[in-house]
Structure 1
Amino acid sequence: MLFDTTPSLFIALLTVLGYLFGSVSSAIIVCRLMRLPDPRSEGSRNPGTTNVLRIGGKKAAIITLAGDMLKGLVPVLIARMLSAEPMVWALVGMAAFIGHLYPVFFRFEGGKGVATGLGAILAWSWLGGLLTIATWLIVAAVFRYSSLAALTAFLLAPIYLAGTTGDMALTSAMSIVTALVYWRHRENIRNLIAGKESKIGKKK
């Protein structure tokens, strides 16, 4: 790593770069390249993996998922190589996540942040990330609701981060990410309560 104590200006630069990296919308780009409808105008109108699966199938969804996870993973890994401070890693991961939610390149119309958040968690703590992904997979397999899987996984993620890292900055960052995931899923929460939420693979 380059710095044991990272200069403030460099922290700001890394954070801005994290946000810009997160602002690259994998769903929109994949749909354009594959000549699919704009995910902001079809299905759930959310530019994320689940909606791309609805409108474009598994191949497009897998590419979108990989792209979105890398948006959270890569900036934090770069920050880890350049800085010894978990606070810097936390800021960069949150910036990438917020970039996905509110991308400057796409009129601030972003997704719900699940895949990008998972990428950041993996970079913060590989074990915490694997536990979060495992939780998502188990809930999704049992109940077939992507939103419920995300809400459950991210509810437990701060606990996983606290247990695997013991770092307050990373745990606090994870708690903020979880709160934002719940905010972005507020309509899904209402639909789950009302029994109107679409299941994985079902056309909306």
Structure 2
Amino acid sequence: MSALAVLMIVLAYLLGSISSAILICKAFRLDDPRLRGSGNPGATNVYRLGGPVPAGLTLLGDVLKGMIPVWAAYFFGLTPIELGLVAIAACLGHIYPLYFKFQGGKAVATALGAMFPVASEMAVLLIMTWILVFWVSRVSSLAALITVALAPLYAFLIKPQYTIPAFMLAVLIIWRHRTNIVRLWNGTEVAFRPGKRKNNKNK
């Protein structure tokens, strides 16, 4: 592995460690997403706390954390495996953020963002898959699991050289959802039901 690849992996982790959900919630004076709702600092939980605008900004930030380092690594000519490691580093930063006591989210949006620079067609397919499964089930974790499970297949069909990196990302995201898998198996996973949000103006 080249020195440039190692540098990009480290930078990807540091960028991934910037928690969009926590920063956006602070900016909008919302509760800490790690302590409210599902406890997951991600766009879905931020939606529960503050609505579509904070959630959209959180989603954008999470996507960019994966997109920017992989785009840079792709520009510098790193190999597909090295690109996969850069993407994984960004996701690990999101899951275990250095700046936020290693309490992070599930990294689904960050993983999707990491796929855009190298296979935009695959990223679009993954987004469409997530939307379809979520629309039918209203369960965010189920949509994420099915989407990432299909990522290696989509990669194989569209850009076979990225099948292994896509598989690596899929394994990481599925492992991160292990508690969700148990709840899905037991039938106790809660479906997403947007309702009245808590007033956080005085928080």
Query: What TM-score, normalized to structure 2?
Result: 0.91
- Equivalent residue for 1:199, pick from 174, 177, 191: 191
Structure 2 residue aligned with 1:37: 31
Structure 2 residue aligned with 1:181: 173
Seq. identity, %: 45
**CA deviations over 1:70-121 (Å, ceiling 9, x no partner):** 1001111111111252233222111111111111111111100110011012
> Could you say what secondary structure the match of 1:16 adopts?
helix
Alignment-mate amino acid for residue 162 of structure 1? F
- In the alignment, the residues of structure 2 paired with residue 84 and residue 43 of structure 1 have an alpha-carbon distance, to the nearest angstrom, of 40
- In the alignment, the residues of structure 1 paired with residue 124 and residue 92 of structure 2 have an alpha-carbon distance, to the nearest angstrom, of 22
The gaps in structure 1 that reach 5 residues or longer are 1-6
The gaps in structure 2 that reach 5 residues or longer are 198-203
The Cα shift of 1:59 comes to 1.1
- In the alignment, the residues of structure 2 paired with residue 85 and residue 192 of structure 1 have an alpha-carbon distance, to the nearest angstrom, of 37
The Cα shift of 1:173 comes to 2.1
- In the alignment, the residues of structure 1 paired with residue 137 and residue 63 of structure 2 have an alpha-carbon distance, to the nearest angstrom, of 23
**CA deviations over 1:130-173 (Å, ceiling 9, x no partner):** 11111101101111111111011000001111221111xx3222
Contact 1:90 1:124 survives alignment (8 Å): no
Alignment-mate amino acid for residue 111 of structure 2? G
**CA deviations over 1:10-55 (Å, ceiling 9, x no partner):** 1111110111111110000000111100011111111111111111
- In the alignment, the residues of structure 1 paired with residue 173 and residue 3 of structure 2 have an alpha-carbon distance, to the nearest angstrom, of 29
The Cα shift of 1:195 comes to 2.6
Structure 1 residue aligned with 2:73: 79
- In the alignment, the residues of structure 2 paired with residue 166 and residue 180 of structure 1 have an alpha-carbon distance, to the nearest angstrom, of 20
Alignment-mate amino acid for residue 43 of structure 2? T
Structure 2 residue aligned with 1:110: 104
Contact 2:16 2:65 survives alignment (8 Å): yes
Query: What TM-score, normalized to structure 1?
Result: 0.90
- Aligned residue pairs total 196
